[in-house]
């Protein structure tokens, strides 16, 4: 390696980067947890109320679907800004790691719920029919048949959502969200330290790659096709 | 209770003769004038029109018809996966269409169903698929469930495959899992929707044998639908023929197969015959230049193996020339149905019919 190159990277504050990486991991982890917590039931309700399903209900499905589409069609940067007052009301601040989590969850939940709905839609109707024929109640069908049957698909959906959250989390740096995105903006963009930008992107890539590999492993482990 | 398929040929025989003693099959189903429809593109398309059937306890009742006739729809009304618009379905006198949700669930737990495409849960092992209906009831402890699952695996001869996933099984094995699952809660009624249509002929035979065995040993009432007359022939006691949502013929299988009344039934019987007849036998004989009376004789049961023709020929001083016919079995009943040319000077056909009648042989004059 050329000395220039080393000098370039020597100027990077590695402790800042380590801190920012930790923050990003926390933001992604926490928001993923809440996204799944809210998005899974929402996805199940979307599925069950959709046409020709067990709880088919056009008005409820229509309203939920509209809300989901509303959030999904709003660019995340806009959502971040629009949601600032909501975040402040919820947790008292709109900046830092905690301030980033509500918009991340609100942004990702409809996305994840729609993925869940689609995964459930892939289940062979025959399996639902067989469960009904066995005298299963609706919760028994959902928890005993649908969710086990779709576990690999759900894990894939969680993986995609986690990766989306990595990029959302980085974007939340725009409104002072903390983490790698924040670092990239403060040093890489505002102070023209492009090497910080490079390192940040490399770490994000590594993170995404790791999530994808982990997700794929889990999917493979739980699929019995 | 359940034992493996291999042992106990003796008790199986006994059960066949006295199904009421097994303590099962106290069940009569009366389908009374039911109609259903589907909505297609906003229009109501009738699927069943004024269907009435009676299924007796312990019997295997077949429903046959061509694709789209409404067979699946009809069998699904028996556990209300399809709800009729009109009519009643009485099971032991109780109208199941009037059951509350909970009651319907417990009725369904006592009504097994198997499907053409098996509908197993791919994420569960063989054992867990069979355990699922047991878990649904919430009535069994873990040890009890394990014991029951083992019994059922034994019954369908899949003990060696208990920890496999459905994707690792052959079609026939999957259907065996389906059967074990359907029997898990000790049902009073088993519904089969084209249980063998996705299987090859040999596997079909083994599944049909298993169903027959279950029917005999457990005295379990079975309603099955099929588009193959051979399935009806080898398994069913009574049959209904469904055509575009209407029952056009029903009765004992021997009766319907040997004397089909409706054109569709005749076509279905013909299709499954070893040697599909080309046209009407009387016409064929005319072409062959055969003169004299033609009669069709139907033998049913033990008489099939008696030398009736020979005896009557001697007694009435006539001769018989067999021009067409078949001897075989329908389920357990031996039968023969032959067409004979009656030889001799001016044979008295009325007398002939009487004499055959005395021997319990049905005699129909096709051409005098
Ligand atoms: N879910 C549905 N929606 C609309 N029409 C349906 C539906 N299910 C069945 N039908 C129609 O109702 C009629 C009867 O269907 P059904 O499945 O009962 O026939 P089937 O005798 O079982 O046929 P197959 O032998 O092909 O299985 C057919 O014309 C079919 O197109
Ligand atoms: Mg069908």
Q: Are residues B119 and A134, on separate chains, in Cβ contact within 8 Å?
A: no
B334: left (phi over 0), alpha (psi -120 to 50) or beta: beta
**What are the CA-CA distances from residue B71 to residues A197, B66, B86, B153, B195 (Å)?**
67, 9, 17, 30, 13
User: Do both B267 and B279 map to the same domain?
Assistant: no
Tokens matching residue B96: 């199941």
Burial zone of A83 (CB within 10 Å; 0-12 exposed, 13-18 middle, 19+ buried) = buried
User: Do both B252 and B283 map to the same domain?
Assistant: no
Q: What is the CA radius of gyration of chain B?
A: 24
Check if the beta carbon of residue A172 is closer than 8 Å to that of residue A100.
yes
Q: What is the mean pLDDT of chain A?
A: 90
Q: With 80 as the cut, is the pLDDT of residue B279 above it? A: no
Residue B8 domain-assigned (yes or no): no
pLDDT of residue B289: 85
pLDDT of residue A198: 86
User: Do both B41 and B78 map to the same domain?
Assistant: yes
> What mean pLDDT do residues B32-54 have?
95
- The pairing of beta strand B294-300 with beta strand B333-343: antiparallel
User: Do both B24 and B102 map to the same domain?
Assistant: yes
Structural domains counted in chain B:
2
Question: What residue numbers bound the domain in which A101 lies?
Answer: 3-222
User: Do both B203 and B222 map to the same domain?
Assistant: yes
User: Do both B206 and B295 map to the same domain?
Assistant: no
Predicted confidence band of residue B272 (pLDDT cuts 50, 70, 90):
confident
- Quick one: CA dihedral B52, B53, B54, B57, positive or negative? negative
Rounded to the nearest angstrom, the distance between the alpha carbon of B257 and the centre of ligand 2 is 22
Tokens matching residue B345: 């000077």
pLDDT of residue B274: 66
Q: With 60 as the cut, is the pLDDT of residue B20 above it? A: no
Of A27-36, B260-269, B285-294, B354-363, the poorest mean pLDDT is in B285-294
Instruction: Quote the CA–CA distance of A134 and A148 in Å, as a whole number.
Output: 17
Predicted confidence band of residue B246 (pLDDT cuts 50, 70, 90):
very high
Instruction: Quote the CA–CA distance of B261 and B258 in Å, as a whole number.
Output: 10
Predicted confidence band of residue A153 (pLDDT cuts 50, 70, 90):
very high
pLDDT of residue A7: 57
pLDDT of residue A218: 96
- The pairing of beta strand B111-114 with beta strand B189-193: parallel
Q: At what angle do helices B142-155 and B126-137 cross, to 10 degrees?
A: 130
Residue B96 domain-assigned (yes or no): yes
> What is the helix (H) or strand (E) element at residue B269, kind and residue range?
helix B263-272
Instruction: Quote the CA–CA distance of A142 and A120 in Å, as a whole number.
Output: 10
Ligand 2 (single-atom ion) residues, CB below 5 Å: B 72
Question: Which residues in chain B touch residue A140, judged by CB atoms under 8 angstroms apart?
Answer: 136
Residue identified by tokens 């959302």 is A168
Of A157-161, A168-172, B221-225, the poorest mean pLDDT is in A168-172
> What is the helix (H) or strand (E) element at residue B230, kind and residue range?
helix B229-235
Q: Look up the CATH number of the domain holding residue B247.
A: 3.40.50.300
Which of A13-22, A139-148, B273-282 tops mean pLDDT?
Answer: A139-148
A149 → chain B, closest CA residue: B123
- Name residues whose C-beta falls within 8 Å of residue A88's C-beta, 6 or more positions apart in sequence: A94
Of A185 and B125, more confident:
B125
Q: Look up the CATH number of the domain holding residue A124.
A: 1.10.3720.10
Q: Calculate ∠ Cα A162-A164-A168, nearest 5°.
A: 110
Question: What residue numbers bound the domain in which B344 lies?
Answer: 274-367
Rounded to the nearest angstrom, the distance between the alpha carbon of B38 and the centre of ligand 1 is 9
Residue identified by tokens 């909505």 is B39
Q: At what angle do helices B171-183 and B126-137 cross, to 10 degrees?
A: 20
Instruction: Quote the CA–CA distance of A205 and B90 in Å, as a whole number.
Output: 65
Of A118-132, A138-152, B20-34, the poorest mean pLDDT is in B20-34
Q: Are residues B181 and A129, on separate chains, in Cβ contact within 8 Å?
A: no
User: Do both B253 and B290 map to the same domain?
Assistant: no
Residue B52 domain-assigned (yes or no): yes
If we measure between CA atoms, which residue out of B273, B327, B270 comes closest to residue B297?
B327
Q: With 70 as the cut, is the pLDDT of residue A92 above it? A: yes
User: Do both B190 and B295 map to the same domain?
Assistant: no
Q: With 90 as the cut, is the pLDDT of residue B299 above it? A: yes
The pTM assigned to this predicted structure is 0.87
Predicted confidence band of residue A37 (pLDDT cuts 50, 70, 90):
very high
**Boundary of a domain, candidates B271, B302, B334:** B271
**Boundary of a domain, candidates B237, B271, B305:** B271
Burial zone of B291 (CB within 10 Å; 0-12 exposed, 13-18 middle, 19+ buried) = exposed
User: Do both B233 and B281 map to the same domain?
Assistant: no
User: Do both B248 and B329 map to the same domain?
Assistant: no
Residue B100: DSSP 8-state: -
pLDDT of residue A43: 98
Q: Residues in chain B, how many? A: 368
User: Do both B89 and B24 map to the same domain?
Assistant: yes
Instruction: Quote the CA–CA distance of B204 and A65 in Å, as a whole number.
Output: 46
Question: Which residues in chain B touch residue A130, judged by CB atoms under 8 angstroms apart?
Answer: 113, 115, 119-120
pLDDT of residue A194: 80
Check if the beta carbon of residue A164 is closer than 8 Å to that of residue A111.
yes
Q: Are residues A135 and B108, on separate chains, in Cβ contact within 8 Å?
A: yes
Check if the beta carbon of residue A131 is closer than 8 Å to that of residue A140.
yes
Question: Which residues in chain B touch residue A133, judged by CB atoms under 8 angstroms apart?
Answer: 79, 81, 108, 111, 113, 191
User: Do both B190 and B95 map to the same domain?
Assistant: yes
Check if the beta carbon of residue B187 is closer than 8 Å to that of residue B112.
yes
pLDDT of residue B3: 43
> What mean pLDDT do residues A5-33 have?
82
Q: With 80 as the cut, is the pLDDT of residue A1 above it? A: no
Q: Look up the CATH number of the domain holding residue B330.
A: 3.30.70.260
Q: With 50 as the cut, is the pLDDT of residue B23 above it? A: no
If we measure between CA atoms, which residue out of A39, A62, A36 comes closest to residue A50?
A62
Residue B263 domain-assigned (yes or no): yes
> What mean pLDDT do residues A128-136 have?
96
Distance from CA of B199 to the nearest CA of A (A): 18
Of B94-108, B180-194, B260-274, the poorest mean pLDDT is in B260-274
> What mean pLDDT do residues A167-176 have?
85
Structural domains counted in chain A:
1
Distance from CA of B331 to the nearest CA of A (A): 29
- The pairing of beta strand B221-226 with beta strand B60-64: parallel
Predicted confidence band of residue B24 (pLDDT cuts 50, 70, 90):
very low
Q: With 90 as the cut, is the pLDDT of residue B166 above it? A: yes
Rounded to the nearest angstrom, the distance between the alpha carbon of B191 and the centre of ligand 2 is 13
Residue B167 domain-assigned (yes or no): no
pLDDT of residue A177: 77
Ligand 1 contact via B227 beta carbon (within 6 Å): yes
Instruction: Quote the CA–CA distance of A108 and A105 in Å, as a whole number.
Output: 5
Check if the beta carbon of residue B119 is closer than 8 Å to that of residue B132.
no
Residue B316 domain-assigned (yes or no): yes
Q: What is the mean pLDDT of chain B?
A: 89
**Boundary of a domain, candidates B216, B246, B271:** B271
Ligand 1 contact via B36 beta carbon (within 6 Å): no
Collapse the DSSP code of B276 into the 3-class scheme (helix H, G, I; strand E, B; otherwise coil) and give the result. coil
State the distance between the two ends of chain B, measured CA to CA, in whole angstroms.
58
Q: For residue B300, list its beta bridge partners.
A: B335
Instruction: Quote the CA–CA distance of B258 and B256 in Å, as a whole number.
Output: 6
- The pairing of beta strand B94-95 with beta strand B86-91: antiparallel
Instruction: Give which of A132, A135, A155 to mutate to test B binding, by max B Cβ within 10 Å.
Output: A135
Of B276 and A110, more confident:
A110
Residue identified by tokens 């299987």 is B199
């Amino acid at each position: 390696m050329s000395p220039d190159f080393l000098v370039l990277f020597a100027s990077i504050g590695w402790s800042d980067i380590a801190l920012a990486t930790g923050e990003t991991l926390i933001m992604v982890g926490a928001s993923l947890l809440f996204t799944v917590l809210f998005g899974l039931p929402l996805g199940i309700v979307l599925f069950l109320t959709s046409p020709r399903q067990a709880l088919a209900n056009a008005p409820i499905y229509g309203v939920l679907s509209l809300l989901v589409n509303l959030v999904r069609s709003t660019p995340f940067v806009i959502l971040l800004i629009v949601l600032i007052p909501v975040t402040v009301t919820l947790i008292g601040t709109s900046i830092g790691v905690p301030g980033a989590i509500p918009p991340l969850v609100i942004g990702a939940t409809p996305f994840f719920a729609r993925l869940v709905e689609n995964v459930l839609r892939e289940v062979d109707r025959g399996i639902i029919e067989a469960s009904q024929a066995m005298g299963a109640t609706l919760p028994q069908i959902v928890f005993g048949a649908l969710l086990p049957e779709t576990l690999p698909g759900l894990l894939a959906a969680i993986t995609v959502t986690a990766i989306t959250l990595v990029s959302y989390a980085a974007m939340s740096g725009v409104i002072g969200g903390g983490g790698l995105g924040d670092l990239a903006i403060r040093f890489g963009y505002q102070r023209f330290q492009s090497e910080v930008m490079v390192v940040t992107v490399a770490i994000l890539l590594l993170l995404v790659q790791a999530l994808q590999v982990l997700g794929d492993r889990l999917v493979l482990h739980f699929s019995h096709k | 209770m359940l034992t493996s398929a291999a042992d106990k040929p003796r008790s199986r025989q006994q059960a066949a003769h006295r199904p009421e003693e097994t303590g099962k099959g106290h069940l009569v189903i009366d389908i009374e004038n039911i109609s259903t429809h589907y909505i297609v593109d906003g229009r109501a398309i009738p699927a069943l029109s004024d269907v009435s059937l009676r299924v007796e306890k312990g019997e295997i009742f077949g429903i046959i018809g061509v694709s789209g006739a409404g067979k699946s729809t009809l069998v699904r009304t028996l556990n209300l996966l399809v709800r009729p618009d009109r009519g009643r379905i009485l099971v032991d006198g109780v109208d199941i269409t009037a059951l509350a949700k909970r009651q319907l669930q417990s009725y369904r737990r006592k009504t097994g169903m198997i499907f053409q495409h098996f509908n197993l849960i791919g994420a569960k092992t063989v054992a867990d698929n069979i355990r699922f209906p047991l878990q649904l009831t919430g009535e069994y402890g873990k040890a009890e469930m394990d014991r029951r699952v083992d019994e059922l695996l034994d019954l369908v001869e899949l003990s060696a495959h208990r920890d496999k996933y459905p994707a690792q099984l052959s079609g026939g094995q999957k259907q065996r899992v389906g059967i074990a699952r359907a029997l898990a809660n000790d049902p009073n009624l088993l519904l089969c929707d084209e249980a063998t249509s996705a299987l090859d002929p040999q596997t079909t035979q083994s599944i049909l044998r298993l169903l027959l065995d279950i029917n005999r040993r457990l005295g379990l009432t079975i309603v099955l639908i099929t588009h193959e007359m051979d399935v009806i022939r080898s398994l069913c006691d009574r049959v209904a023929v469904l055509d575009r949502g209407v029952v056009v013929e029903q009765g004992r299988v021997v009766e319907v197969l040997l004397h089909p009344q409706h054109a569709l039934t005749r076509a279905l019987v013909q299709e499954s015959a070893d040697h599909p007849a080309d046209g009407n036998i009387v016409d064929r004989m005319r072409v062959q230049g055969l003169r004299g009376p033609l009669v069709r004789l139907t033998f049913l049961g033990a008489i099939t193996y008696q030398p009736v023709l020979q005896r009557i020929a001697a007694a009435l001083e006539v001769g018989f020339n067999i021009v067409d016919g078949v001897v075989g079995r329908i389920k357990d009943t031996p039968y023969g149905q032959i067409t004979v040319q009656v030889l001799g000077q001016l044979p008295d056909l009325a007398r002939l019919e009487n004499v055959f009648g005395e021997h319990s042989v049905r005699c129909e004059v096709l051409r005098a």
